[in-house]
Structure 1
Amino acid sequence: MTFDEVLAKVPQLNDYLINMPKELKNKFVVKIHPPGTIIHYQQSDLDIFGIVATGEHRVINIFENGNIFMIEKNEPIDFIGEVTILAGMRQTSVTIETITESIIMYISRENFEEWIKKDIHFLYLVSQKVALKLYRSSSNRGAKLFYPPTFLLLDYLIQYAQREEIKKGETLILKQTREELYEEVSISVKTLNRTIGKLKQDGVISIIKGKIAISYDQYRLARKMVKYYVKQDVKNS
């Protein structure tokens, strides 16, 4: 796929590239990554910058004991390597893995650094993305430190239902395995299984063929329960 073909497929990119130096156009390399591709590992040298045109990816930390902590999940249009480069660091601090098939446009780190020096509009958009990631990360880290596992799983399910735009009468079935949920919610497998059992017993979720399912009525109940935990936190503060 060529640079022009990507722009034709994702016209929203034009807002990001409107002031791009013309000589950079021929320096982009377009790659189509299948799901499960590691874009880069943490603590590896970063020599490229990427613009994610399509596809979702996740940002993770992999620890020596094999445990995986998912920091965030990102959707297009997004960037690869911008935090490391803007921080002036040589090595990455996280691992990035594609979740779905992804089209990513790459240029060298040096070309990106030269670009943002000349293009204030693009620098603003990149900085805005970085700020949003830091904002979400701070919010999520606080929740994971101070709220119980029930709240964390309920909050995850509510966000999932909202992304899927659940409607009255519908039931959504999560595709994620228990291992994937453990990574995304960041609670231990043992605690996760216990929390799932408790929510099922309370009628907040169902289990269909081994998968977590949540109906529209259960989604509404989950939202009420989340408000309860927030109120309790306020009372105890």
Structure 2
Amino acid sequence: MDLFKSLPLKKQEYMNRLFRNCTEEVKYYMSVIDVEADQTFIKAGEECKYIYIILSGKVTGVEWPMHEKSYFFKDFGPGDFFGEIECFAGLPRYRISILSSTKCRLLAIPSIYYMEWMRMDVDALFMRTQENISRLVLQTAEARKYLFMEGKDRLMVHLVRKYEQKIPAPEILVLNQTRARISEEVGISIKTLDRNIRKLEEMNLLTLNKGKIVITKTQYLQMKQDIDFYVNG
């Protein structure tokens, strides 16, 4: 399908196999929508009316597990699905919020027609079940590792994510976020955040310019290497 031409080749092939026998209702009612950066297009707690597939751009998953404190837990990109797991689990409302990190193009399919298709198409159902189980297993492992990370490592994960959200990748990234916002996204106190910013500055993994965090491509690559070693061991 022409809809998926912007996806990487392997994901194009996957989508073409998946949608090979989709129903006429899905074809008729699905639509392409564009979302500007920093927009919440799925809000936790709202009715799960649509399944969304990212065609281009990047998004971030946000949870409020306790006391309404947000937790920015993972970035997603082209080919990723949202709202589907809730529908498979029989949950009427979205479990997480999804925020666009960049300008995005999405394919929106009404959940009622998507689920009717899944019930009729055994091959498509198997493909999506396999993908969802794999995703849940990996996310659970990643969340467990993140939980036990020190504040310094959490901050590096955050900075690597922010660098990778910029398309094309910059030579120098100036992080235009307040300390309060960073501490909220990383999940540590402002006092702990400031202490770990100083640690990374001493390690030459970032610099401060008028209070703002600045990261060079070299510093990003070093942090990326350190985080990959920690996560993948």
What is the root-mean-square deviation of aligned Cα atoms in Å? 3.6
Secondary structure at the counterpart of residue 77 of structure 1:
coil
Partners of 1:54 and 1:64 in 2: CA distance: 32
TM-score, normalisation: structure 1: 0.75
Deviation at 1:140, TM superposition (A): 2.8
Residues 51-108 of structure 1, C-alpha deviation per residue, up to 9 Å, x if partnerless?
A: 2222211211247866321122111111121111011111222112222222222222
Residue matched to 1:186:
187
SS in 2 for 1:18: helix
Letter in 2 for 1:187: I
Task: Give structure 2 stretches of 5+ with no counterpart.
Answer: none
Contact 1:154 1:226 in 2 (8 A): no
Sequence identity (%): 20
| Superposition pairs of residues 68-217 of structure 1, within 5 angstroms | 68-157=70-159, 172-173=172-173, 175=175, 177=177, 178-179=179-180, 181-208=182-209, 210-216=212-218
CA distance in 2, matches of 1:221, 1:43: 35
CA deviation map 1:177-197 (0-9, x unaligned): 245543443323332221011
Distance in 2, matches of 1:128 and 1:176, equals: 39
Letter in 2 for 1:200: E
Asked if structure 1 preserves the Cα contact closer than 8 Å seen for 2:45 and 2:93, the reply is yes
Q: The residue matched to 2:102 in structure 1 has which SS?
A: coil
- Between the two proteins, the alignment pairs up a number of residues equal to 224
Conserved in 2, the CA contact under 8 Å of 1:56 and 1:98? yes
Distance 1:193 1:83, change over 3 A: same
Larger Rg: 1
| 8 Å CA contact 1:144, 1:186 repeated in 2 | no
Shifted more, 81-90 versus 33-42: the winner is 33-42
TM-score, normalization: structure 2?
0.76
1:59 alignment partner AA: G
Letter of the 1:87 partner, please give it: A
Letter aligned with residue 24 of structure 1:
V
In the aligned structure 2, how far is the partner of 1:131 from the partner of 1:8?
26
Unaligned runs of at least 5 residues, structure 1: none
Using a 3 Å threshold, how does the CA distance of structure 1 residues 9 and 218 change in structure 2: closer, same or farther? Answer: closer
Q: Structure 1 residues 61, 23: closer, same or farther in 2, change over 3 A? A: closer
Distance 2:99 2:121 in 1: 29
